[in-house]
Amino acid sequence: MSHDQSFPPPAAWARDALVDRRRYEDLVALEARDPDAFWREVAGRLDWETPFTKVKDVSFDLTDFRIRWFEDGRLNASVNCIDRHLAARGDQTAIIWEGDDPAASRRITYRELHRQVCRMANVLKRRGVRRGDRVTIYLPMIPEAAYAMLACARIGAIHSVVFAGFSPDSLAGRINDCDSRLVITADEGVRGGKRVPLKANVDEALEHAPGVETVLVVTRTGVATSLKAGRDFVYEAEAAEVADDCPAEAMGAEDPLFILYTSGSTGRPKGVLHTTGGYLAWAAWTHEAVFDYRPGQVYWCTADVGWVTGHSYIVYGPLANGATTLMFEGVPNYPSLSRCWQVIDKHQVEIFYTAPTAIRALMREGEAPVARTSRRSLRLLGSVGEPINPEAWLWYHRVVGEHRCPIVDTWWQTETGGILISPLPGATTLKPGSATRPLPGVKLALVDADGRPLEGAGEGNLCLTDSWPGQMRTVWNDHERFLQTYFSTYPGKYFTGDGCRRDADGDYWITGRVDDVLNVSGHRLGTAEVESALVAHPKVAEAAVVGFPHEVKGQGIYCYVTLKAGEQPGPALEKALVDWVRREIGPIATPDVIQWAPGLPKTRSGKIMRRILRKIAEGDTANLGDTSTLADPGVVDDLVARKRLEP
C-alpha cells in the first residue's frame, strides 16, 4: 500500500477557510515577529472582566521554574461559555443531546444552559461548596455533565470528572487524591442498551473515600437507588429549591479550572491541573482554527466528557465559541452499525471528530452501513487519540467523507489542554497518517536519546521547547512529580512521552508512546496500573504488562503472570484474572492476553526487561536482542516456548 499520497485543500476550502494559506502565513509571521501580539490575539477572543497586561512568564529551568499566562487578567469560564452569548444567540442551540435510544434527543439553548448551570451552581453553594473546593463528577453523557462542569467553573470550584466507565476503586482513588467532599453522579447510565449502576458504584467507592459529605444524584433512568440520609440528595429536588440565576466569580487567569486524572508510566494516575485563562483561550482558539468553526454549524465530537477531548472539544472550546455542540450518550454500533451516520443525518452535523479505533471497528464491518446514509451535511472530519493508520485514514476519507471532506488528524494530550499538531483544513496538504505541522506558536523539537535536537528529517522523542497557554501547570498535590515526569528527562524541555518522525517536507508522524503508557482504543492506561491490579489478586505473585499491536484497539493489553507457589494455571483462573482487572480498574483495562510465566526476564539488579516481553508479545521472537545481561536467560526460552503454544 502506498503511503505517500497527499491531499491539498479542496479549492473551496483554500478559498473560504477562516485560516487559509495567507492567514496561516500571517499568523506564523506575527508570532515570529512579536509573540506577545500573537498570544494577545489568541486570548483576546475571550471576555476578560479585568484585561491582562502581562502575556507570558515562563521558564522550564528547574531552578527557576514557572508557567504563567495572562496572569493579571480576571475572567470566568462559564461566563465565556454562556453569558456572553445570550444577547446575540440566547435562543440558539448550545447542546444537542442525542440519547442512547435513537428516539431520544433534546436541544438546549444558550438561555436554557444558563438557567441550568446557574441552578446547579446554586445547589453546590447551598451544599457548602466554595471557591477552590474540589467537586468530583461521575456522570454519563447527559447534559448535566456539562452543567456540572460549568457550574463549578461559575463559582470557582475545581471539577474533577471521572469517566463513568471507571470502577468504584478507581473512583475512590481519584476522590481521595484531591479531597473532594462532594460527588455528582446519576442513578444509572445508559450505553448501548445496557444500564450502568453509577450510584451503586459511588456507594461502593465511598466505603473507601470517607471525606465525601454530599452526593448529588441526577435522575437518568429513574431506577430506585438507596439514598443515605444526610449524605445523598436527588438533584432535581435540590434544583427546584434554588434560583435560576447565580453571579459568577471573577477568577484569576491562573486559578485552577479543573483536575483531570490521567495515566503515566509509573504509579497511580496523576491529577493534571489546568488553569482558567490560558486553557480556555487555547481550547477556544484551536476549536475555531482547526475545525474552521463558524457560528450556526453543528459540530460533533464523539469523545466522553470523562476524557480531555470531551473537556476541550465538547464543552469548553465549542461553548466558548458559541457553537452548537452535539453530545452523544451511546456507542457507534447501537442499535446498528449505521448509528453515527444516522445521527449526522438527523442533526445535519457538519464537523465530525472521532477516534481511529472507532473508524477501524466500523471499517471492518464494510461500507454498506455507511452507504445507507446521506452524510451530505458533512464538511470536515477529525481524528484524535492515537495514530491513525493510513488504511483507516483513506477509508474515512473515501467512504465516510466521499472524498469531499478534509481530515484533521489532531495530536495532543491531557497535559497539553488542546491541540498542538494538526492540519488546518484550508491551508495544509494532508498526508494519511501524519498530523502534519505544529499550530502557530507551538515550538516542537525532536531529540535523540541524549537530548540532542535533530535537524531535518529523522526520528526521535517529541518535546516542546516553549510553553503554550493550554499547558498543564502542575500535578495536583505533587509539583515535584510534575517536574520529574515532564521536565527532567531533557532539561529545559517538556517531554511528551511520544516518539515521532519528521519527514523531508517537515511533516510530523507520531509513532506512539516511548514510555510504559498504553493507548488502548484511544484510552490511556499505565502498564503499572494493570500490574498493580493483577498483583492485588490473592493468587498472583508477580505480573508484567506490555502493549502489543491490535487491529481495532491500536494496542492490546498483554499480561505475563507468575502465580504464587502451589497455584495452578488454567482457563478458569485466566477468566477470573481478566474479570478481576475489569473490576479493579474498569472495562477499558480488560486484558487481551494472559500468559502464564513461571519466571520473568530480569536483569541481575532485578529490573524486568520489558523490551524482551514486548517482542515476545508482538510475536517477534527472532529478534529478542541481547539477553546476556539477564539474571536467568533460560526464562526467555521458556516464555517463547509457551507463546508458540498459543493460537
Residue nearest to ligand WTA (CB): 414
Q: How far is the CB of 422 from ligand WTA (least distance, A)?
A: 8
CB atoms within 10 A of CB 428: 22
Is 194 annotated among the ligand-binding residues? yes
Q: Is 5 annotated as a binding residue?
A: no
Measured in degrees and rounded to the nearest 5, phi and psi for residue 537 equal -75, 135
DSSP letter at 50?
B
The annotation status of 474 as a binding-site residue, yes or no, is: no
Task: Write down the least CB distance from residue 386 to ligand WTA, Å.
Answer: 5
User: Any binding-site annotation on 497?
Assistant: no
CB of 571 to ligand WTA, least distance (A): 33
Question: Residue 193 CB, nearest distance to ligand WTA (Å)?
Answer: 27
In the complex with ligand WTA, which residue's Cβ is closer, 100 or 386?
A: 386
78 is in an annotated binding site: no
CB 440 within 8 A of CB 27: yes
What is the b/e burial string over 14-35, where b = at least 16 CB atoms within 10 angstroms of the residue's CB? eeebebbeebbeebbebbeeee
191 has binding-site annotation: yes
Q: Which of 80, 496 has the CB closer to ligand WTA?
A: 496
Kindly state the smallest distance separating residue 262's Cβ from ligand WTA, in Å.
Answer: 5
Grid coordinates standing for 129?
Answer: 461548596
Contact (Cβ atoms closer than 8 angstroms) between residue 313 and residue 283 = yes
Positions touching ligand WTA (CB under 6 A) are: 262, 307-309, 383-387, 409-414, 435, 496-498, 510, 512-513, 519, 524
Q: Which residue has the cell 507551538?
A: 442
Residue closer to ligand WTA (CB basis): 147 or 509: 509
Is 55 assigned to a binding site? no
Residue (386 or 529) nearer to ligand WTA, CB = 386
Q: What is the nearest approach in angstroms of ligand WTA to the Cβ of residue 320?
A: 18
Q: Which is nearer to ligand WTA, 513 or 537 (CB)?
A: 513
Say how far apart CA 93 and CA 123 lie, in whole Å.
24
Separation of alpha carbons 92 and 79, rounded Å: 16
* CA angle 308–311–315, rounded 5-degree value: 155
Strands (E), 503-634: 508-513, 517-520, 523-526, 540-550, 554-563, 593-596
Nearest approach, Cβ of 137 to ligand WTA (angstroms)?
18
51 versus 512: smaller Cβ distance to ligand WTA? 512
List the beta strands (DSSP E) in 454-586.
Answer: 458-464, 474-475, 494-502, 508-513, 517-520, 523-526, 540-550, 554-563
The phi, psi pair for 402, rounded to 5°, reads 45, 45
Of the two residues 322 and 547, which places its CB atom closer to ligand WTA in the complex? 547
Helix (H) or strand (E) holding 531: helix 527-535
Is residue 109 part of an annotated ligand binding site?
A: no
Q: Which residue has the cell 510475536?
A: 619
59 is in an annotated binding site: no
Residue stretches of the annotated binding site = 191-194, 309, 333, 385-387, 409-414, 498, 513, 521, 524, 535, 537, 540, 582
Residue stretches of the annotated binding site for Mg(2+) = 535, 537, 540
Residue stretches of the annotated binding site for ATP = 385-387, 409-414, 498, 513, 524
Residue stretches of the annotated binding site for CoA = 191-194, 309, 333, 521, 582
